Structure 1
Amino acid sequence: MAFLERWFGKDKTKNQAKERLQLVLIHDRTDLAPELLEQLRAELIKVICNYLEVDDERIELGLEKEDCAVALVANIPVKNVKRYLSSAK
């Protein structure tokens, strides 16, 4: 086991598993396809990264369903604010 942890890192594997489980739970709660949720997550992070430097390893994104309402809940740790936007796209 230590051999695998050296190559892949225990924390990284743990974070990936946690992220996959969160996506499955979100899918169950909202009836959205997992691919759509992953695309939503990727696009949101891409836009946010245009303005902020974030900690990719600790991002938590989820949908919460209560009665007939669904809320997008995000916890995105910010490392730094980008003061100047690059004009190249």
Structure 2
Amino acid sequence: MPISQITQLFAKCGFTVEEFVALSGAHTVEFSHCFEFVTNLSNNTSSSYNPRYAQGLQKACADYKTNPTLSVFNDIMTSNKFYNAYL
């Protein structure tokens, strides 16, 4: 089903496009807790991370063991923005 039809179905139920995006994909969740991925950074041989990005993540997450709530933005370009695009 095309996305245009899906948004029309949601609109018929009274949902805005913004609400549809939140319900269908939760694209406002723009951060990750360091403990969820930091072990992947140390395995550079199989890592698909850009080396500069990985280095930045390692620096930002350096204290994740003492602060389990430490998190980083997934996308620095659209952090703190609610958008309705699947980028």
Q: Which has the higher contact order (CA 8 A, sep 6+)?
A: 2
Q: TM-score, normalised by structure 1?
A: 0.28
Greater fraction of residues in strand: 1
Greater fraction of residues in helix: 1
| Greater C-alpha Rg | 2
